[in-house]
Structure 1
Amino acid sequence: MQNQDPAVQETLDRIHSQVTNNPVVLYMKGTPQMPSCGFSSRASQALADTGEKFAFVNVLADAMIFEHLPKYQDWPTFPQLYIDGELQGGCDITLELAEAGELKEMMAAANAKFAEKKA
């Protein structure tokens, strides 16, 4: 995405940094403690239930991220879950991964890989 507003590019760069510098990051409306929509609530609870660490970004607290995150990986809705730098999807996919037992495995692997890189 070139030849665009520098503020938009800075926002996309910031999103890229968040996605690549956190093994697991959930872009959500609100916070895990105070979610502002049911989808964000269910997705963050599924992540919390794994017992694994994850980061979150409250898209309601950052208008630029709220507006431009959907362009980052062409995913129009919130929440958005990234594990090991890759978009997994929204609430439904997060819940499906949790139900299948895959979410905890994916998060644990991403957290371990990140910890190794830091060591």
Structure 2
Amino acid sequence: MSEQDVQAVQDWIGKQIAGRDVVLFMKGTKSMPQCGFSMQVAQILSHLGVDFADINVLDDMSVREGVKAYSNWPTIPQLYVKGEFVGGCDIVREMFQAGELQEMLKTKGIANNAQTATA
């Protein structure tokens, strides 16, 4: 892939993140996850009633590799809230269990069902 192609993918990823409040780069879709880790993060967000955009990295290898470079994070899934990289499955799960994810969503003005605080 040329440097120009790499930059185009980075720009596209940036636009997806900037254009939406909550974005999950995942394997599969929220209705049909293709890996357990992606499924866990999608379930946590759904459990909290968070409206999120799901981007299936399996549809495009350049996006799959590009998002890893974008965040400097080696694995998928990757969660972004209000343009900020939150983390992958372990981080999101730990934040959720500690109530930190709900607090972050509230602070950033993202609607969620914080009363369903723990799973």
* TM-score category, normalised to shorter length: 0.7 to 0.9
Q: How far has the Cα of 1:102 moved from its partner?
A: 2.5
In structure 2, how many angstroms separate the alpha carbons of the residues matched to 1:105 and 1:34?
28
Matched, 1:14 2:12: yes
Q: Secondary structure at the match of 1:77?
A: coil
Higher-helix-fraction structure: 1
Among candidates 81, 95, 107, match of residue 93 of structure 2: 95
Equivalent position of 1:46 in the other structure: 44
Counterpart mapping for 1:34-73 below 5 A: 34-73=32-71
Q: Which structure 1 residue ranges, 5 or more long, are not aligned?
A: 113-119
Equivalent position of 2:114 in the other structure: none
Q: How far has the Cα of 1:67 moved from its partner?
A: 1.8
Q: Which structure 2 residue ranges, 5 or more long, are not aligned?
A: 111-119
Q: Secondary structure at the match of 1:88?
A: strand
In structure 1, how many angstroms separate the alpha carbons of the residues matched to 2:71 and 2:50?
24
Q: Secondary structure at the match of 1:72?
A: helix
* Paired letter, 2:44: A
TM-score by length of 1: 0.84
CA RMSD in angstroms comes to: 1.7
Shift of the 109–53 alpha-carbon distance from structure 1 to 2, 3 Å rule, reads farther
Across the two proteins, how many residue pairs are aligned to each other?
A: 110
In structure 1, how many angstroms separate the alpha carbons of the residues matched to 2:108 and 2:10?
22
Q: Secondary structure at the match of 1:67?
A: helix
TM-score by length of 2: 0.84
- Asked whether the equivalents of residues 23 and 111 of structure 1 are also in contact (C-alpha less than 8 Å), the reply is no
- Asked whether the equivalents of residues 11 and 65 of structure 1 are also in contact (C-alpha less than 8 Å), the reply is yes
Q: How far has the Cα of 1:108 moved from its partner?
A: 4.2
